[in-house]
Each structure stands twice: as C-alpha cells, then as structure tokens.
A and B are shown apart, each in its own frame.
Chain A
Amino acid sequence: MKKYKNQVMILRIASKELFHNISTPRFITGFVLCLLLIPFSIVISINEYRSKVSVYQTEQKRADEENLAKVYSAYRPVIVKNPTPLSIFARGVSYNLGNRVKILFSDIPMMSEGKAESRDNPFLNRFFTFDFVSMLIIIISLMAFLFTYDICTGERETGTLKMMLANPVSRALVLSGKMLGTFFTLIPMLLFSFGLCILVLLFYPDIHFTSSEWVRIVIIFLLSMVFLVLFMVIGLFVSSRVRHSGTSIVICLVLWIMFLFIVPNLANYSAKSFVKTGSVENLNFDILEIEKEFNTKVGEYDKKLPQTDWGMANTRFNTDGPSAIAGASKSSFEKERLMNIFSEPLRVDYADRKWSFRKAYITKIERQQKIARYLSFLSPSEIFKESVNGLCATNAESHYNFLDQIRNYREELIRYYEVEKLFNSYLYFTQQDPKSFMTGDEIVNTLTNGEIKTVADLYAKNDPWIFNYFKKPIPNGDMDVWKPMDLSKLPKFDYRPANVLDDIRHSLLHIGVLITLLLVLFYFSYRSFIRYDVR
C-alpha cells in the first residue's frame, strides 16, 4: 500500500514538473533549435554521403576494369570500400580517409588511398560543418542543463520547495518525481530530433538502411537517452550543491562549453603538438631508398644470367612486377622466368622491410589518435560521440579493422602464388604458349619474311634503323588477342565488417563509463539534496 502511495506521489510530482516545464519558453526554444539546426546538418551529411557513393561507384568501375588481368604479374586486385549510410548520423573519421586499396606485392598497404576530401571544392573544407550526432549533443545537453540547473535552487528561491517538503513526502520521492518529470519534458525533444532526421531522409528514397543498420539506429537512440539523463544528473548535481540559480546556471553553462568545445579541441591539439609523428613525405624518401636497393640487387642478378640471342619483344608495363611479354625469343622467355624466380620472392621480402618503416609511422599515428581520444574522454559528450561513431563504423578502429583484413588477404594471395608456383611459371608474365617460342634467328626470319635468315646477318648490316627490314609484325606478339585470365580459383577479398554485437561489445566500455558516471553523480546529488537547506 505504501509502495503504491509512493508511486502515485512520484507520478504526481512528475506531472506537475512536466506541466510546469511545458509552459515555459525553454520548452519551445528546444524545439525551435532542433528545427533550425538539425535539417540543415542532415541535408549536408546526405550530400556528403551521396558524393562519397558516386566516388565509390566510379572507383568500383575502374577497379573492375583494372582487376581484369591478362597475366599473373599484372593481377594486383583493387579493393574499394562501400560507404555506409550510417555516416549520415555520425561522420567520425570516415571522410578523412580514402576508400580504395590496391594490393601490391612490393608493398604492404599502410593506409587507404583515393579521394579523401568530402567536398569537391577543397576550399569549402574551411567550413566545419556539424553532423547529426554533434548537433544532437549540443541541443540535448544544453536543454538538459537549462531544465535542471534550477531543479533545486529554483524551487527554493520561489519558496515552494519548503512547502512541498512540509507534506509527508520524502526528499528522495521529491527528487525522483522532479527528475522523472524533467525526463518526460526532454524526451519529446529527443524524439523530435530523430523524427526530423528520419523525415528528411524520406525525401531521399535512394538512401536506405538494412535491418542491421536500423537496429544500430535504435541502439543510438537508446544511448542518446542515457546521454540525456547523464546531463540531467550533472545539472541536478550542480543545482543541489549551490543555493542560487544564478550561480547554478553559470556553472552549468561553463561546464557545457568545456565539455563540448574546449575539451575535444584541447585533446586533439595537445595530442597533435606533443606526440610527434613525422611526415609521410619523409617516410616516402626512406621507402625510395629501399626500392633503390631492391632494383640494384635485381640489376646485379640480371647481369649474372646468360645473355639472350634476341632482345626485341612486345611488352606491357606493370607497376608492381615484371612486364607482360609477347613475341620474345625462347632464351628471353627463359631468362625472364629465371629472373622472376629470384626477383618475386625478393620483392615480397623487401615489402616486409618497407613495412618496418611503415609500421613505425603507423604506430606513431595510432598512438597520437589514441592519446587524443583518451584525453577527450574528460568530456562525457565525447565518450557518447565515440560510442556512436563505433556503432556507425565511422571511427578509427573500424578502419584499422578493414586494413588488417586487407593485409591478411594480401598474405593469402601471395601464399596462393607461392603454393601454385606461379612465380616460376611462364603464365606469370605471358599467355604465349611455350610450344610457340622461337629462337632469335627464327623470329628474324619471320619478321623479314625470309629475306634475312639470322640475327647475326641483321646486325651485320650495321643499320641503326633495323625496323626498315621488318615486313611482318612480331610473331605471337599481339597481346590484344589475349583474353583476361580466369581468376575464379584465386582467393577473393571478402570484407567482414563487425556485426552489431561486436560493436556493442567494443562500445561497452564507453557505455559503462557513462552509466557509472550517471549513477555516481545521482547518488551524490541525492546525498546533497538530503542535506539541502530549503529555506
């Protein structure tokens, strides 16, 4: 019976608080701010996402063409990452990073490439726009403070607090009722924000979310409620520790500015200034030195191999391996094959050597990012933002995960080449049937239509323009007739983004910190309120 009476009392206090709050200008201000600020931010985020999608489609098309290789030395798959529509909610770091990675044997991918600017006109990057989650943080935290800064002090100043407590109602009940009422006041604003966002999205039917993405959106909404309650409790704590509303509002607003604007910028700037990373330019110079060493070794080995009888052929250059060759002499083909048996495993070894420099650089970059993030956790709004970025897969960790999967795939592909002995095979650099390989003399004979029989005879003419004697094209030299290889047996890259449960697990620390902070502050607020002088 007593429990029932207490519940009725809490609801009565809550409804009184709710009706009082609705009639104040603060309530309308919240909705007006949402209406003014949220649609713009969503429209801009949607435009950024759409431009990312069109870049993705162009790059995927280009990648599909590039991936049609005619010889194994030219097959270096390009992988393009699909942008996620959840980036409309939380931009994270996804717009700083390119979405394209080319698998090379001579290098291990360090970072993704491709268009990294979200805006086509790079000058527009000067305008720091706010995404949905930033906007939500600003509006919800401000409104939470504006409704709770005077939760104790306001009633004390108007004299109604002592009147309420003169009734047979415990302070705990009063506090719970007031907090519940304020919560019911602020929840419509949160719903309105999300509703506005969904409404704007309806105008863009080309953007749709999968069921797992909808689940994430619901979890983000639930997290926003935790965030809202946390800031309400911070406001309550401040209000319970001071006697005047004037003091309370100043402290709350100063905290607001610090949490939302000072701490994030301070954290990032301090990490950038105190944690050195060095520049990619200088790393590239070091990498170039290693490449020079590799080329020198290959050049030296080339000198050890036997001379060929005829050096002319049709070649097609590959950036990451030997050129494709057609119409060369038998000895040239054999020399190339022997060279590849030496150079290709060496190429992979040198990739590992380059990786030690790259890893050192990446470690510094990741360290700087982690320090910035840990420093920013002094602000609860940054903890919330980080957990939302994690759920939207737009944080740094999800990109590290993507790159790790790419590197593993590269290892798998190289292992396949090694196991199938593709480096040792003619197929690595030509589609020409070995049975059709000719000697130099045979080629010269064919080229000159029988007029000159041997290579020696041709050079004996001492004419720098030996092309003048050629009556026919290079035999078997036409690469255009080669069809793209059947790559179905090769390992394919299958990107496995973290599923919802994994992302929740990673965000558990952040969510745990928020909830712990909430409970600890509420407990201290309750204790302060118990001793609060109501006169």
Chain B
Amino acid sequence: MLKTIILTDIKQNIQSLKLQITFVIMLVVFTVGSIAYVFQYRNALEDYRKYSSKMQDELKMKADINITKLAVEKKDYLFSPLLNGFIDDAKSQFIPNNIKYNAYNVYEYSINRKTSNPYLFLSNELNWGFILSILTSFAVLLLSYNAISGERELQTLKLILSNSVSRGVFLFGKYLSIVISGVLMVLPGLLVSLIILLLSGILKVNTLLAFQITGFMVAATLFISAISALGLFCSVASRSATVSLLISLSLWSVFLIFSPNLAVFAADQLFKIKNSETVQSEVNMASDAINKAAPEGSWSMNGNDPFFERHELRAKNVTDLMNSEKQIKDEWYNNQFGQYEKASRVTYISPISLLGMVSESLMGSGYPRFRKNWSDLHTFQNQFLTWFKALDAKDPKSPHWYNPYEDVSTSRQKIKFEEIPIYTERMMTIPQRLTTALPGIMLLVVYSFLLFGITVVMFNRYDVR
C-alpha cells in the first residue's frame, strides 16, 4: 500500500504544473550559474596568480636585501579562490580572507575587497547552495502545502482513508513521495551543472571533489526532507489549503529573512563586544604607558651599527609594545569569533541556515577555513621565527637583540629565495570537514523527525470530512 501511495503521488507531482515550471526554472538557473561560474572562477584565478607572482617578486627583492627585513616585514596572506565555489561559496568574499603576519606575530585579519565591485549590491552567487536554499525549498513547500488540506478539500482524503491503510503509513507515503519528487527535481540540474563544469576543464576530478559533491547531495536530501516535513506540517495545521499556503509562505519568509536579521540583532544587543575604536584607544593607552616607563635611550638608533648598545633597549621596548598590543587585540579577536559563533547558532532555527552551515563545513570554506588558516598561520609564524633565530644565531655580526618591527639589531645576511619558508594553506581534511558538519547534519535530521512526529500526532486528530 505504501508503495502505491508513493508511486501515485510521485507521478501526480511530476505531472503537476508547479513541479514542471519550477523544474524548468531550476534547470535554467543551474545552467546559467555554472557557465557564469566558469568565467568568474577563471578570472578570479588569473587575478590571484598575478597577485601571487608580484608578491613573490617582492619577496625575492627583500631576500636580496637581508633576512631581518624579510622577518619583520608584515606580509599578507590572501586566501586563494576555491574550486568548489560552484557548490557553495559560504559568502567567503564577505568575511575576512586576508591575514597580516610577520615572523614575530600574526597581527590582524581583514576583508580584501580588491576584486569586488563596491557599486554592486550585495547578492548571492548562483551556486548549488543558493538554488537549493531559495528555489528548491520554495518548490518543495509548494508541492507539500496542500498534501493533506488539498486532498481534504477535493474530498479524496476520506476516500483514501476508508481503505485499510493506517494514517501513519499514508502520511509517511506522502512524505516520502514529496522528498523523492524534490530530489528528482534537483538531480537533472545538478547533472547538467556538473557536465558543464567538466567540459569547461576547470574541475579536477579527485577524491576530495567526489566527497564534496556526495556530501552536498546528502545534505541536500536531508534539507529537502526537513522542508517536506515543514510543508506537511503546514498542510496538517489547517483544514483549508489556502491557510496552509499562508502558513508555509510565512514560515519560509521568516526563515529566509527573519533569521539573518535576528542574528545581527542578537549580536548587537545580546552578545555585545567592544568596538574597534575602544580597542584601538586601549592599545594606544597601553603603548603610551610603556613608552613613558621605558628607560632613557630606548628610542636611540644608529642604522650603521647593530651593536650600538641602546639597540638592546630599543628591541625590548618595541617587543613590549608588540606584546601589549597583541594581548589586547587577540582578546578582541576571540570575542569577535565568539560573537559570530553565538549569532550563527541563533540562525539554526531555520533549516536554510542549517544547510548553509553544513555545506560550508563540507566545502572547507567560509568561517571554518578562516579559523584553520588563523591557527595554522600562528603555527607557521612560530616555525618561521625559530628558523630566523637559528640563522641569526650563526651570524657573528648580529647582537641577537630581537626587534619585531625593525631591521636594527639582528642579522643582515642575505638569503636565497629558495631557502625561505613559505606558508602554504592546508585544506581541511575529510574527517575534519565531517566533524565540523556533523552538528548541522544531526540538527537537520532532528528537524525532520521532530516536525514529522508532530505532523503524525496532528494528523491522527485531523478531521478528514
């Protein structure tokens, strides 16, 4: 009986106007989105390569001067464009993607907007995540809002239930048919998109890509089942299909619009942290105090003689300044991370946000990528400093008074470009990605179960006349 219900409903859904129209629109958006992505990715990669090679040339020039200049110069690490942006870019261009560091410290992060156009409105990329979040969720709601209330209005519900089929089995059949119809609606678009990307030659077929695509498809199925459960819930919440539609549209609007607004509101009002002006004035005050307390001669400098005795005082003073700023700023950075994480958790009432979180983790982009780079750069910075100090120790012309900002009292030997340690980003491994995505996946499953459970309870009392 279950199989009959499922097959009949799937057939009905496929023949319905709503599925056909949304299927066509989805296919068009998948196609245009993928073609546009090929161009956009190629441009982004070309710009990134030009930028990297110019940075490399500058590095070569510095190495030709001396190793201390290499160590104290603040470098920028700019995140490279990721190939999996066609699946989900996790709004990577809107969050920090540039980290400043030198051998002594990882200083700050910022958003490098150099390739974005400030005169364009903020908009979403047409990737798989966007299509699923907006189009597919809407289409699945359209399919499911009148699954029960619509059948009641057509008077067919009481006819079906007059057969020897339990309400639970019937509802489960409806649910599965909606999920399968939703998946069937999306699959051709995904395939067309993959074919376009493979033909363009930008895709590198490997285990990681296969994992990402499979992972996203699993997440998409879970998302579709959560939305289907939501649609069924709306259908059972009323005896009229129109009211069911109103409820489902309202919930969809709330999930899409309300949740990001709520997150920012919560961050501003509930999870308040210091602002940048306050932090900067704290840093300035601490620096002034250190400079006032510094012994006389801490600011003397003789560029020609590293062993000028006042350079030791200078090095100590500059190190103290760096450490005090580092302490204040690191605390502030951790507060920013905490504020963002708490605000994101607020959005988890919305399955759309949950899908975003899961795909971000599976792609290893967005916020998880930033945090990994932030911590990896700290590790690299320590290794870089150790390497520099080892080289400096071998130089008899250096007094070894380590100054984090200035080329004053450490080794001035030249170094070959090939010997310089360069930071290379290590992408999150598959197990790491799965661990990060797991909470979101569990929440989506819980969402579906909970909503479906409530729907079953409500349907058992539903008046089918």
Decide if A122 touches B268 in the complex (CB within 8 Å).
no
User: Which among B32, B121, B124, B277 has the greatest number of chain A C-beta atoms within 10 A?
Assistant: B121
Known: A96-B118, A121-B273. A257 touches B51 (CB 8 A): no
Residues in A neighbouring B33, C-beta threshold 8 A: 269
B54 sits at the interface (CB 8 A): yes
- In the complex, A172→B424 CA distance in Å? 72
0 or 1 for each of B37-56: is its CB under 8 Å from A? (1 = yes):
10110010001001100100
Which B residue's beta carbon lies closest to that of A29?
Answer: B246
A456 sits at the interface (CB 8 A): no
Count, chain B residues at interface, CB 8 A: 75
Which B residue's beta carbon lies closest to that of A464?
Answer: B304
Decide if B260 touches A127 in the complex (CB within 8 Å).
yes
Residues in B neighbouring A135, C-beta threshold 8 A: 257
Decide if B257 touches A138 in the complex (CB within 8 Å).
yes
Q: How far is the CB of A94 from chain B (nearest CB, A)?
A: 10
Residues in A neighbouring B276, C-beta threshold 8 A: 120
Residues in B neighbouring A278, C-beta threshold 8 A: 47
Stretch at the interface among B134-142, B316-324, B412-420: B134-142
- In the complex, A126→B92 CA distance in Å? 8
Decide if A123 touches B37 in the complex (CB within 8 Å).
no
0 or 1 for each of A62-101: is its CB under 8 Å from B? (1 = yes):
0000000000000000000000000000001100110000
Please pick, from A123, A261, A265, A274, the residue contacting B336 in the complex, using a CB distance under 8 A. A123
Stretch at the interface among B16-24, B213-221, B282-290: B16-24
- In the complex, A97→B113 CA distance in Å? 11
Decide if B114 touches A366 in the complex (CB within 8 Å).
no
Q: How far is the CB of A273 from chain B (nearest CB, A)?
A: 4
Q: Is the interface of B mostly helix, strand, loop or mixed?
A: helix
Stretch at the interface among A243-251, A291-299, A411-419: A243-251
Which B residue's beta carbon lies closest to that of A119?
Answer: B264
Residues in B neighbouring A272, C-beta threshold 8 A: 36, 40, 117, 120
- In the complex, A175→B258 CA distance in Å? 36
Please pick, from B17, B36, B47, B95, the residue contacting A274 in the complex, using a CB distance under 8 A. B36
Residues in B neighbouring A142, C-beta threshold 8 A: 249, 253
Please pick, from A116, A251, A274, the residue contacting B113 in the complex, using a CB distance under 8 A. A116
How many chain A residues sit at the interface, stated as a range, is: 35 or more
0 or 1 for each of B92-127: is its CB under 8 Å from A? (1 = yes):
001110000000000001110111011111111110
A441 sits at the interface (CB 8 A): no
Known: A250-B18, A251-B21, A272-B40. A365 touches B119 (CB 8 A): yes
Known: A124-B264, A266-B32. A368 touches B120 (CB 8 A): yes
Please pick, from B37, B47, B366, the residue contacting A126 in the complex, using a CB distance under 8 A. B366
Residues in B neighbouring A455, C-beta threshold 8 A: none
A459 sits at the interface (CB 8 A): no
Decide if A37 touches B94 in the complex (CB within 8 Å).
no
Decide if B54 touches A117 in the complex (CB within 8 Å).
no
A281 sits at the interface (CB 8 A): yes
Instruction: Report A266-318 residues with CB < 8 Å from chain B CB.
Output: 266, 268-274, 276-282, 285
Residues in A neighbouring B113, C-beta threshold 8 A: 116
Decide if B119 touches A265 in the complex (CB within 8 Å).
no
Residues in A neighbouring B125, C-beta threshold 8 A: 265, 269
Residues in B neighbouring A532, C-beta threshold 8 A: none
- In the complex, A142→B138 CA distance in Å? 13
Residues in A neighbouring B275, C-beta threshold 8 A: 51, 120
Residues in B neighbouring A127, C-beta threshold 8 A: 260-261, 263-264, 343, 347
Decide if B47 touches A128 in the complex (CB within 8 Å).
no
- In the complex, A51→B120 CA distance in Å? 22
B262 sits at the interface (CB 8 A): yes
A146 sits at the interface (CB 8 A): yes
B340 sits at the interface (CB 8 A): yes
A40 sits at the interface (CB 8 A): yes
Decide if B257 touches A368 in the complex (CB within 8 Å).
no
Decide if B121 touches A93 in the complex (CB within 8 Å).
yes
Known: A138-B253, A369-B119. A125 touches B111 (CB 8 A): yes
B423 sits at the interface (CB 8 A): no
A25 sits at the interface (CB 8 A): yes
Decide if A264 touches B121 in the complex (CB within 8 Å).
yes
Decide if B258 touches A123 in the complex (CB within 8 Å).
no
Q: How far is the CB of B440 from chain A (nearest CB, A)?
A: 15
Which A residue's beta carbon lies closest to that of B146?
Answer: A246
Decide if B94 touches A93 in the complex (CB within 8 Å).
no
0 or 1 for each of B330-341: is its CB under 8 Å from A? (1 = yes):
000000110110
Which A residue's beta carbon lies closest to that of B271?
Answer: A121
Instruction: Report B239-291 residues with CB < 8 Å from chain A CB.
Output: 240, 242-243, 245-246, 249-250, 253-254, 257-258, 260-265, 267-268, 273, 275-277
Q: How far is the CB of B433 from chain A (nearest CB, A)?
A: 18
Which B residue's beta carbon lies closest to that of A260?
Answer: B134
Which A residue's beta carbon lies closest to that of B238?
Answer: A25
Decide if B39 touches A254 in the complex (CB within 8 Å).
no
Known: A40-B262, A44-B264, A121-B339. A253 touches B118 (CB 8 A): no
- In the complex, A267→B249 CA distance in Å? 25
Known: A44-B264, A117-B111, A120-B276. A25 touches B243 (CB 8 A): yes
Residues in A neighbouring B340, C-beta threshold 8 A: 121, 123-124, 126
B348 sits at the interface (CB 8 A): no
Which A residue's beta carbon lies closest to that of B343?
Answer: A124
Decide if B36 touches A126 in the complex (CB within 8 Å).
no
B397 sits at the interface (CB 8 A): no
Decide if A37 touches B36 in the complex (CB within 8 Å).
no
Which B residue's beta carbon lies closest to that of A255?
Answer: B21
Residues in B neighbouring A41, C-beta threshold 8 A: 257, 261
Decide if B95 touches A285 in the complex (CB within 8 Å).
no
Q: How far is the CB of A183 from chain B (nearest CB, A)?
A: 20
- In the complex, A399→B142 CA distance in Å? 41
User: Which among B109, B142, B268 has the greatest number of chain A C-beta atoms within 10 A?
Assistant: B268
Decide if A279 touches B366 in the complex (CB within 8 Å).
no
A262 sits at the interface (CB 8 A): yes
Decide if B277 touches A262 in the complex (CB within 8 Å).
no
Decide if B265 touches A44 in the complex (CB within 8 Å).
yes
Instruction: Report A478-517 residues with CB < 8 Å from chain B CB.
Output: none
Which B residue's beta carbon lies closest to that of A276?
Answer: B43
Residues in B neighbouring A138, C-beta threshold 8 A: 253, 257
Residues in A neighbouring B264, C-beta threshold 8 A: 44, 119, 124, 127, 129
- In the complex, A369→B121 CA distance in Å? 9
Decide if A273 touches B253 in the complex (CB within 8 Å).
no
Q: How far is the CB of B333 from chain A (nearest CB, A)?
A: 10
B29 sits at the interface (CB 8 A): yes
Q: How far is the CB of B281 from chain A (nearest CB, A)?
A: 11
A471 sits at the interface (CB 8 A): no
Which A residue's beta carbon lies closest to that of B356?
Answer: A126
Which A residue's beta carbon lies closest to that of B29?
Answer: A262
Residues in A neighbouring B121, C-beta threshold 8 A: 92-93, 264, 268, 372
Decide if B258 touches A40 in the complex (CB within 8 Å).
yes
- In the complex, A249→B242 CA distance in Å? 10
0 or 1 for each of B2-32: is its CB under 8 Å from A? (1 = yes):
0000000000000001100110010001001
B372 sits at the interface (CB 8 A): no
Q: How far is the CB of A108 from chain B (nearest CB, A)?
A: 18
Residues in B neighbouring A253, C-beta threshold 8 A: 138, 142, 249
- In the complex, A97→B257 CA distance in Å? 24
User: Which among B253, B254, B347 has the greatest number of chain A C-beta atoms within 10 A?
Assistant: B253
- In the complex, A25→B265 CA distance in Å? 29
Which B residue's beta carbon lies closest to that of A120?
Answer: B275
Other contacts beyond A41-B257, A139-B253: 8, CB < 8 A: A37-B257, A124-B339, A125-B95, A130-B257, A250-B21, A273-B37, A279-B115, A368-B120
A-B contact pairs, 29 of them (CB 8 A): A25-B242, A29-B250, A36-B254, A36-B258, A37-B258, A37-B261, A97-B118, A111-B118, A119-B264, A121-B273, A122-B111, A130-B261, A139-B253, A142-B249, A253-B138, A258-B25, A261-B135, A262-B134, A272-B117, A273-B40, A274-B36, A279-B47, A279-B115, A280-B114, A281-B50, A282-B47, A285-B54, A366-B119, A369-B117
A-B CB proximity, top 8 nearest: A273-B36, A273-B40, A123-B340, A127-B260, A268-B123, A396-B119, A369-B119, A96-B118
